[in-house]
Amino acid sequence: MYQRLLLLFVTVLVFLSCGTYNPVQRNYTFEDKQVFDLIERLKKNVADKEAAEQLPVAYQQASDKRKTITEAKYYNLSGGDRYVELAREYTVMQQMYEAIVSTPAAYKAIPQPWNPSAAIQSANSKAAEEYYNQGMQYMDYNNRQYAQKAYDYFAKANNIVPGYKDVAQLMAVAKDRAILKVVVTPVNYYRNSFNFWGFQNDWLQQQLVRDLNFRAFRDVQFYTDAEASMQRLQPDKIVDVNFTNIYIGQVFQKTSTINRSRQIQTGSTKSIPSKPVFTTVRATVFITRRYLQSNTTLQCRIYDVQSGGNMFFDNFPNTYNWQVETATYRGDSRALTQEDWRMINNNNYNPPERHQIADRLLRDAYNMLINRINSSVNF
């Protein structure tokens, strides 16, 4: 399986070298380019004697230069990185080998070019082994910070040699250790359960978990207490949400009276020129104002399980005021203003129900909370 994957890797590199974009060209030296230029000349003209004579010398110079480069990188780099760079340099020689054997005139000039596929395989295997061992060293620390480093090294090993040893399982273990587990506890709805306020479930707890996970904090996962219990998770931090106050006010009523009067034209004189005749009309407007005031305060504390220290603590007060004015009148309607008519014609005077007020208060307070967490809290 391993050899088939390596063969596929080498084949892809060779395929890319034939396309318009060849990432391996970034590792080309001047000597490499000379070799590829001479091979290209022989492709176009098999009788190019000068290119055929120069190619062996250029190939030897490129090989010597490659040896110097790879030795420098071998000693200057540490861990698996040195073998990754070594494999990249060998890949240039692999492309050179493929170009020579696929060009008859070039193959005739260099009948025994070096095939570095075994060297690439060896370098990749050593790189994966180094990364694997480094990952295992970090796993021994058995904490979240080093688990992330371990995961990165295991991922490097898996990228170099897909399916290397048991690296897939170790990546899963390291990822689980590296994740900061945060549990959002059930919300305290101030002396009553959520259904007292008309809710079918603790929507705020569930919404907070969804929104925080959607925010995608790095290496952080949020859970409800039920999810954590089901998965037998040990939380690192707790989000505690508490309504320290929920007050739904009662409807109060206040009445007032306004006397209206207006001069309106009711005729004109017979004189020449005529003059308007005005009459004073009067009406009394009886206004009924219904209103209620409600408020709540949402408190949120985020703390570390081991130390008990707070990483976030704040209160989010919110108010909701409702009022409506209706009116009747007695007298001449011509004395009334537009505002009077608005109150007289107002049929929407029923106050909102308790669960509607609670929903409005709690959602507004929640929006303030989630915005503050997203902008201020760094997990």
User: Of 159, 176, 193, which residue sits at a domain end?
Assistant: 176
Q: Which residues contact 193 (CB under 8 A, 6 or more apart)?
A: none
The reply to whether 171 and 289 lie within a common domain is no
Q: pLDDT exceeding 90 applies to what percent of the chain?
A: 63
pTM, 2 dp: 0.62
Calpha distance 310→302 (Å, rounded): 6
DSSP 272-327: SS--EEEEEEEEEEEEEEEEEEEEEEEEEEEEETTT--EEEEEEEEEEEEEEEEEE
DSSP reduced 3-state for 228:
helix
CA atoms within 13 A of residue 121's CA, in its CB half-sphere: 14
User: With 70 as the cut, is the pLDDT of residue 17 above it?
Assistant: no
> Interhelix angle for 144-160 vs 117-139, to 10°?
170
The reply to whether 188 falls in a domain is no
Indicate the average pLDDT of the chain.
Answer: 88
- Angle at the Cα of 100 from the Cα atoms of 94 and 106, rounded to 5 degrees: 160
Least confident interval from 1-10, 83-92, 99-108: 1-10
User: Of 176, 196, 222, which residue sits at a domain end?
Assistant: 176
The reply to whether 270 falls in a domain is yes
User: With 70 as the cut, is the pLDDT of residue 19 above it?
Assistant: no
Task: Name residue 342's beta-bridge partners.
Answer: none
Least confident interval from 73-87, 123-137, 276-290: 73-87
The reply to whether 135 and 24 lie within a common domain is yes
User: With 80 as the cut, is the pLDDT of residue 26 above it?
Assistant: no
User: Of 176, 201, 217, which residue sits at a domain end?
Assistant: 176
The reply to whether 51 falls in a domain is yes
The reply to whether 161 falls in a domain is yes
The reply to whether 207 falls in a domain is no
Instruction: Name which of 190, 156, 189 is nearest 171 in CA terms.
Output: 156
Average pLDDT over residues 196-225: 89
Q: Name all contacts of 53-59 with Cβ < 8 Å and 24+ positions apart.
A: 53/109, 55/106, 55/109, 55/110, 56/109, 56/110, 58/31, 58/34, 59/35, 59/96, 59/100, 59/110, 59/113
The reply to whether 219 falls in a domain is no
The reply to whether 274 and 125 lie within a common domain is no
Judge contact between 302 and 239, C-beta under 8 A: yes
**What is the extent of the structural domain holding 10?**
2-176
The reply to whether 24 and 154 lie within a common domain is yes
Judge contact between 239 and 310, C-beta under 8 A: no
Q: Name all contacts of 57-60 with Cβ < 8 Å and 24+ positions apart.
A: 58/31, 58/34, 59/35, 59/96, 59/100, 59/110, 59/113
Give the pLDDT of residue 188: 93
The reply to whether 134 falls in a domain is yes
User: With 70 as the cut, is the pLDDT of residue 73 above it?
Assistant: no
The reply to whether 263 and 171 lie within a common domain is no
Expressed in angstroms, the distance from the first to the final Cα of the chain is 42
User: With 60 as the cut, is the pLDDT of residue 166 above it?
Assistant: yes
- Report the domain count for the chain: 2
CA atoms within 13 A of residue 287's CA, in its CB half-sphere: 17
Give the pLDDT of residue 67: 80
The reply to whether 172 and 270 lie within a common domain is no
The reply to whether 245 falls in a domain is no
